[in-house]
């Protein structure tokens, strides 16, 4: 005969708590970090990449993934490095200590390079969606990966376009003394010289400057066909305004991905000099990415008016980390990191695979100009 046993109220409650705890243990929280500048002059770019990670985390959670026998709940660990190398290394150590699963970041080469050494020591995989200095991957850290073309591709593409299509004969070069600015400027210079373009002047500023009148006046006296600036949109905008004030609005203006943003027209007060800008980004324009159009619609609904440039790459970087976890059947960075180098992932931005150095196997470069206050792809 079946005997029904009734439990006292307290015992029944205890059983319910135990059952609930067991259920909760089936869900494992996995933190993916974003590290970049979300304060300061280029906070708009840092927030854009953070948005990309945030959107990816939401999409991953919608998949209800099970890894290592446990349901996975992804969370974003967001850190501000303020674009400062020392703060970036402190952030990197903090993320190591917190034992996040992986990092999307940092934004700039000057912050990514020192942070990469910290991540290497704690076996923390990190994927930059934007830092382009080739020196980032030269140490050969097995934890370092880049999701865009590096400066060797960007600087060379700009110099070739200037020489072959715009027929420039002379150029003045300015850089902001950062690892990024100096790196892309040096590649542009080397390629320009190979094409017979004469470098008539070299100047430098810093990534906090707003007054370029002295530099531009010196350059004006040398009458270059073009100016190349290795630096950020926060400086390129005021520089373009001041070029127009000095009567240099007819001079061609070249720059890399860090100034090639949607916000540049605003920062330049939509000066007429914008029409002479040619800039390059490492990757396809969002409307030409294999999943870009639909992704951009979703991004704009979630983060209206915030799109700049790198968020699709930050999104894909997050997805690449999760893909490696799935293939490794582990969320332990020391286990799944080895699977990142074997990535074959169809992302929003492109089909993603890495070389042994952590570079993309087939990086793309897109050239842009600005028309009617909007960024327009040239290729």
170 vs 14, more confident = 170
- Nearest CA to 103 out of 119, 89, 83 is that of 119
- How many C-beta atoms surround the C-beta of residue 341 within 10 A? 16
Q: How many domains does the chain have?
A: 2
Q: What percent of the chain has pLDDT over 70?
A: 93
Do the beta carbons of residue 192 and residue 254 sit within 8 Å?
Answer: no
In a domain, 264, yes or no: yes
Do the beta carbons of residue 260 and residue 368 sit within 8 Å?
Answer: yes
187/296 same-domain check: no
Q: Binning pLDDT at 50, 70 and 90, where does residue 176 land?
A: very high
Query: What phi and psi, each to the nearest 5 degrees, are found at residue 260?
Result: -90, 60
Residue 26: predicted pLDDT: 84
In a domain, 13, yes or no: no
Chain centroid to Cα 127, Å, comes to: 9
CA distance 226 to 168: 7
In a domain, 17, yes or no: no
Q: Binning pLDDT at 50, 70 and 90, where does residue 14 land?
A: very low
- How many C-beta atoms surround the C-beta of residue 11 within 10 A? 10
pLDDT > 80? residue 84: yes
59/159 same-domain check: no
pLDDT > 50? residue 9: no
CA distance 38 to 46: 5
Structural domain ending residue among the three candidates 225, 258, 282: 282
252/359 same-domain check: no
Q: Binning pLDDT at 50, 70 and 90, where does residue 324 land?
A: very high
- Tokens for 360, please give them: 């993309």
Structural domain ending residue among the three candidates 238, 253, 282: 282
Q: What is the average pLDDT across 330-358?
A: 97
Structural domain ending residue among the three candidates 234, 255, 282: 282
156/269 same-domain check: yes
pLDDT > 70? residue 307: yes
Q: What is the average pLDDT across 213-221?
A: 98
pLDDT > 90? residue 60: yes
Host H or E run for residue 181: helix 179-194
- How many C-beta atoms surround the C-beta of residue 61 within 10 A? 13
273/166 same-domain check: yes
214/296 same-domain check: no
Pairing of strands 27-36, 102-105: parallel
Q: Binning pLDDT at 50, 70 and 90, where does residue 135 land?
A: very high
- Tokens for 37, please give them: 């500048």
pLDDT > 80? residue 263: yes
Q: What is the average pLDDT across 202-211?
A: 97
pLDDT > 90? residue 344: yes
pLDDT > 80? residue 13: no
How far apart, in Å, are the Cα atoms of 287 and each of 153, 291, 295, 319, 368? 21, 8, 9, 20, 13
Q: What is the average pLDDT across 26-48?
A: 96
Residue 121: predicted pLDDT: 98
DSSP assigned state of 166: S
Domain that holds residue 193: 152-282
Residue 11: predicted pLDDT: 45
In a domain, 42, yes or no: yes
Residue 7: predicted pLDDT: 42
327/210 same-domain check: no
pTM: 0.84
CA distance 33 to 105: 8
pLDDT > 80? residue 363: yes
Residue 326: predicted pLDDT: 98
211/138 same-domain check: no
87/46 same-domain check: yes
Q: Binning pLDDT at 50, 70 and 90, where does residue 2 land?
A: very low
142/53 same-domain check: yes
Name residues whose C-beta falls within 8 Å of residue 248's C-beta, 6 or more positions apart in sequence.
216, 219, 220, 227, 273
In a domain, 66, yes or no: yes
Judged by DSSP in three states, 121 sits in: helix
Q: What is the average pLDDT across 339-361?
A: 97
CA distance 212 to 244: 12
Q: What is the average pLDDT across 148-173?
A: 97
pLDDT > 60? residue 174: yes
DSSP assigned state of 354: B
- How many C-beta atoms surround the C-beta of residue 4 within 10 A? 4
Q: What is the average pLDDT across 348-368?
A: 96
Q: What is the average pLDDT across 126-138?
A: 96
Q: How many residues does the chain have?
A: 379
42/138 same-domain check: yes
CATH of the domain at 300: 3.40.50.2300
276/294 same-domain check: no
Tally of CA atoms within 13 A in the half-sphere of 250 that contains its CB: 5
Residue 25: predicted pLDDT: 52
In a domain, 20, yes or no: no
How far apart, in Å, are the Cα atoms of 67 and each of 64, 70, 73, 216? 10, 5, 10, 57
Q: Compute the Cα dihedral for 238, 240, 241, 246 and give only its sign.
A: positive
In a domain, 10, yes or no: no
Residue holding tokens 């070739």? 160
Residue holding tokens 């050494």? 117
Residue 219: predicted pLDDT: 98
């Amino acid at each position: 005969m079946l005997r029904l046993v009734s439990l006292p109220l307290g015992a029944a409650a205890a059983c319910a708590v135990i059952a609930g705890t067991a259920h909760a243990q089936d869900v494992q929280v996995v933190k993916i970090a974003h590290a970049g500048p979300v304060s300061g002059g280029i906070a708009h770019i840092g927030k854009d990449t953070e948005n990309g990670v945030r959107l990816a985390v939401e999409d991953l959670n919608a998949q209800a993934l099970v890894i290592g026998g446990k349901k996975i709940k992804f969370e974003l660990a967001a850190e501000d490095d303020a674009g400062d190398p020392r703060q970036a290394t402190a952030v990197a150590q903090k993320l190591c200590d917190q034992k996040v699963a992986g990092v999307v970041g940092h934004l700039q080469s000057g912050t990514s390079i020192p942070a990469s050494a910290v991540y290497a020591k704690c076996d923390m995989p990190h994927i930059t969606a934007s830092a382009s200095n080739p020196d980032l991957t030269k140490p050969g850290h097995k934890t370092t990966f880049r999701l865009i073309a590096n400066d060797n591709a960007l600087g060379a593409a700009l110099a070739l376009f200037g020489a072959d299509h715009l027929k420039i004969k002379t150029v003045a070069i300015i850089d902001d003394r950062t690892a990024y600015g100096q790196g892309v400027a040096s590649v542009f210079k080397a390629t320009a010289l190979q094409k017979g373009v004469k470098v008539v002047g070299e100047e430098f500023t810093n990534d906090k400057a707003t007054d370029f009148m002295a530099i531009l006046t010196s350059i004006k006296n040398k009458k270059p066909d073009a100016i190349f600036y290795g630096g950020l949109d926060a400086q390129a905008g005021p520089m373009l305004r001041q070029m127009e004030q000095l009567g240099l609005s007819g001079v061609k203006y070249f720059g890399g991905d860090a100034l090639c943003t949607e916000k540049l027209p605003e920062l330049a007060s939509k000066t007429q000099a914008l029409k002479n800008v040619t800039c390059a980004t490492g990757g396809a324009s969002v409307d030409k990415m294999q999943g870009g159009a639909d992704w951009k619609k979703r991004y704009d609904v979630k983060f209206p008016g915030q799109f700049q440039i790198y968020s699709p790459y930050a999104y894909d970087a997050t997805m690449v980390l999760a893909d490696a976890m799935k293939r490794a059947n582990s969320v332990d960075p020391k286990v799944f990191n080895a699977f990142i180098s074997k990535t074959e992932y169809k992302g929003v931005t492109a089909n993603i695979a890495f070389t042994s150095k952590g570079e993309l196997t087939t990086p793309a470069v897109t050239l842009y100009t600005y028309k009617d206050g909007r960024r327009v792809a040239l290729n």
